[in-house]
Chain A
Amino acid sequence: MFEEYSMAELTDILFMQGFAGLILFSVLVLMALGLAIIFGQMGVINMAHGEFMILGAYTTYLTSHIFETYLPALFDGYFFVAMALAFLVCFALGVLVEWGMIRFLFKRPLDTLLATWGLSLILQQLYRTVFGAREVGVTLPEWMMGSYAMTETIEVPINGIFVMVLTLFIASGVYFLMFRSLWGKQVRAVVQNRPMAGAVGIDTGKVDRYTFGIGCGIAGIAGSAFTMIGSTGPTSGQLYIVDTFLVVVFGGAQSLIGTIASAFTISQSQSTLEFFLSGSMAKVITLLIVVGILMLRPQGLFALKIRQ
């Protein structure tokens, strides 16, 4: 199918395509991290994950307006403020939800599924009431748009690089938090044995609350970042939720490394297949691969070994 193209063109496209795959990889990791933390560490399936992302997106939208109106001189840098605010807002709401809802349903995973789904519907309607049913456009600073031309045909999207750097930053942040901090040690202790962790003086309730909050906060950052590449509307969160669950379940629910490996597998196969086949077929085949592997390994790619 490529006989009509020169070798140089093909190399360029190969490079661009690899880059497209990496962007998709970063997007998937960013989407899934928050969910993976909550699912992996607490066993709670947060169906409202997409709505937390959109809360982050709306926070960004509001911040952009505030900067445009009151601080136009600082507009170029508003996005960083917006991301920080998105984290704080979603963290706060997450903590509130854990305190008001999740902690009562802890022992009943199916009920948390239903409760968080209900929460997602409530949030959607809330956004619709506050911001209107239509999508809103988030204005980006000029420097974040467009692309950096390396050669005549190789053009690297700046927002793609931005998402990649951000993902790297967040992922390493989560790694340090989980595996290098006292708090992470407590979280891991609670996951491995809740009663014993409580017995040695860890406040398990508090650990749960902050875990949930941080998971939601990261969803908020992801939502904020996705205003660069996607839409912001009351139901936009639904666009991401399926892929997010796919990544988390495929990776093995309790493993953050698994989430990253699974995001990598899915993104690379998706973008390669998309190039050779049509978009819908690529999606079908990716899903078939995932289903096939999950049939062979129901626990996902990486499973945490714990004594049952």
Chain B
Amino acid sequence: MCIFNYESGSRDNSPVFKRRSFIKTLIAFPLGLILASSTLSWANPPTSEVNTTGLAVTDDTVTVGILHSVTGTMAISETGSVQAEKLAIDQINAMGGVLGRKIEYIQEDGASDWPTFAEKSKKLLVNDKVAAVFGCWTSASRKAVLPVFEQYNGMLYYPTFYEGLEQSPNVIYTGQEATQQIIAGIDWVVKEKGAKTFYLLGSDYIWPRTSNKIARKHIEKLGLKVVGEEYYPLGHTQFNSVINKIKLKKPDVIYAIVVGGSNVAFYKQLKAAGIDLTKEKPLLLTISVTEDEILGIGGENIEGAYAAMKYFQSLDNPNNQAFVQAFKDKWGQDIVIGDVTQAAYLGPWLWKAAVEKAGSFDIDKIRAASPGIELTTAPEGYVRIHENHHLWSKTRVGLAQKDGQYKVVYESEELIEPNPFPVGYQ
């Protein structure tokens, strides 16, 4: 594409210079090929070609949106995602941007309030005409913005692991859907730890309930037993009764999906009640505690618990070491990086890859180009976008350490296929 742009951009239309221009073309053709193949960022196609739908793209900039809660209860969780997305944007700009255009971002605050999310997403899409939005964290906020993205044809990169049961043409899900996180984790605990009985526990809303439903089906499929299933309201702070019940039922595994402030209360009280997780009697497996949450819980309170995620800060590969270093250099040496933060970091990179593959910022072209896009530089390793807009990724199990980090004890051999509508699990 580069070579033809060069031609059309040339002012040399005089017939006298025809031959010279011909020679120039001869020289430029292989040169252009070399440039085009060596790095795409050299290509700087005109705006009229790469943006046919009136997005906020100029000759040297492209504007995207960041939409997370930086105030309200969810700020605790969403801050990491904002930091990761800004880091990715900085790094992409340092490499020359996307199709030769620097990324600029407009950040809006969803304020932990779902109608505000919808309002702000409309503002980003309609007023600011952003080329993509990186944002949302809770399922409730995603559900609130979904109609807006579908109506105004925007593209959302959503970072959180979530319950599945959704597949929108206007969303790329960079976190895991429920089956990816749950099934491999349970298989591991059954195979490696010989678990026979499970106690399912969660906060009372859609994600823990759907996840536990899938977990229960899978446990029962394996011929094992669920001895209890419980939900507590969000923000519940007293877990002594359920801890007594767990003591009475003596399950092999506590499968915990407690979130938010409740998390801290649950693990502190578990420890206070004399359940030492390092003894693994019972063993605790969670899918809701990342390194971010451990900051609040305290490493000494959760030491010995297992978590099934796709990413841990301690992953030992060159991509991740570079990512962790860059993240710390930008945001402070004491900072920790959890699963969702890494998934949020993938968003801008996946978008960049899709834009470059499509050769356009148009949403429809990005959508068509997205399936099959792979990222070899992801901190979690290699990922690929599935036809269903979720990511193929590995599942890993980590053992919580006193210092607040996880030690990776298991990694699935293959990439696990995302399956947002699992048959037989609903």
Binding site for B on A (CB under 8 A): 5, 9, 13, 16-17, 19-20, 23-24, 27, 125, 128, 132-139, 145-147, 149, 153, 155, 157-160, 226, 228-236, 238-240, 270-271, 274-275, 278-280, 282-283
Contacts and interface: CB of A to CB of B under 8 A. Distances in A.
A146 B248 contact: no
Contact of B248 (A9, A128, A145, A229): A9
Given A159-B272, A235-B73, A271-B240, 6 more contacts: A13-B247, A16-B247, A155-B274, A158-B272, A239-B261, A278-B230
B292 A134 contact: yes
Contacts of A132: 79
A213 B169 CA distance: 56
Contact of B247 (A153, A232, A239, A282): A153
B194 interface: no
Interface in B264-285: 264-265, 268-269, 271-274
Contacts of B412: none
Given A229-B237, A231-B296, A157 B247 contact: no
B235 A229 contact: no
B36 interface: no
A87 B318 CA distance: 50
Contacts of B268: 159, 228-230
23 contacts: A5-B248, A9-B248, A13-B247, A20-B244, A23-B238, A24-B238, A125-B71, A147-B272, A149-B274, A155-B273, A155-B274, A158-B272, A228-B272, A229-B265, A230-B265, A231-B264, A231-B265, A235-B76, A235-B261, A278-B229, A278-B231, A279-B233, A279-B242
Given A13-B244, A236-B261, A157 B272 contact: yes
B240 A136 contact: no
Interface in B68-98: 70-73, 75-76, 79
B272 A234 contact: no
A147 B237 contact: no
What size tier do the contact residues of chain B reach? 35 or more
A133 B79 contact: yes
Contacts of A145: 271-272, 300-301
B111 to A, nearest CB: 11
B271 A279 contact: no
Interface string B278-320: 0000000000000011111111110000000000000000000
Contact of B295 (A134, A160, A279): A134
B265 A279 contact: no
A145 B299 CA distance: 13
B204 interface: yes
B274 A283 contact: no
A230 B269 CA distance: 8
Contacts of A271: 238, 240-241
B342 interface: no
Interface string B35-76: 000000000000000000000000000000000001111011
Most buried by A among B73, B241, B299, B301: B241
B188 interface: no
A16 B273 CA distance: 10
Nearest to B243: A20
The 3 closest A-B CB pairs, nearest first, are A135-B296, A231-B264, A20-B240
Contacts of B247: 13, 16, 153
Interface in B109-148: none
B327 to A, nearest CB: 15
A234 B295 CA distance: 14
A280 to B, nearest CB: 5
Interface in B238-256: 238, 240-245, 247-248
B252 to A, nearest CB: 16
A251 B73 CA distance: 29
A233 B244 contact: no
B236 interface: yes
A18 B235 CA distance: 23
Contact of B296 (A24, A136, A239, A279): A136
Contacts of A134: 76, 79, 292, 295-296
Most buried by A among B71, B235, B243: B235
B297 A137 contact: yes
Nearest to A278: B230
Contacts of A236: 261
B232 interface: yes
Given A9-B248, A137-B295, A230 B261 contact: yes
Most buried by A among B79, B237, B245: B237
A229 B295 contact: no
Given A147-B272, A229-B268, A235 B238 contact: no
Most buried by A among B76, B236, B247, B300: B76
A27 B238 CA distance: 9
Given A13-B248, A145-B272, A275 B73 contact: no
A308 B360 CA distance: 77
Contacts of A17: 241, 244
A135 B261 contact: yes
B179 interface: no
B263 interface: yes
Contacts of A147: 272-274
A229 B232 contact: no
Given A17-B244, A158-B272, A275-B245, A128 B298 contact: no
Given A20-B241, A157-B274, A274-B242, A136 B76 contact: no
Contacts of B297: 137, 231
Contacts of A239: 235, 237, 261
A240 B262 CA distance: 11
A235 B260 CA distance: 11
Nearest to B276: A146
A206 B253 CA distance: 58
A275 B295 contact: no
Contacts of A278: 229-231
A155 B270 CA distance: 11
Given A147-B274, A239-B261, A234 B240 contact: no
Most buried by A among B72, B292, B297: B72
A146 B272 CA distance: 4
Contacts of B265: 229-231
Contacts of A283: 232-233, 236
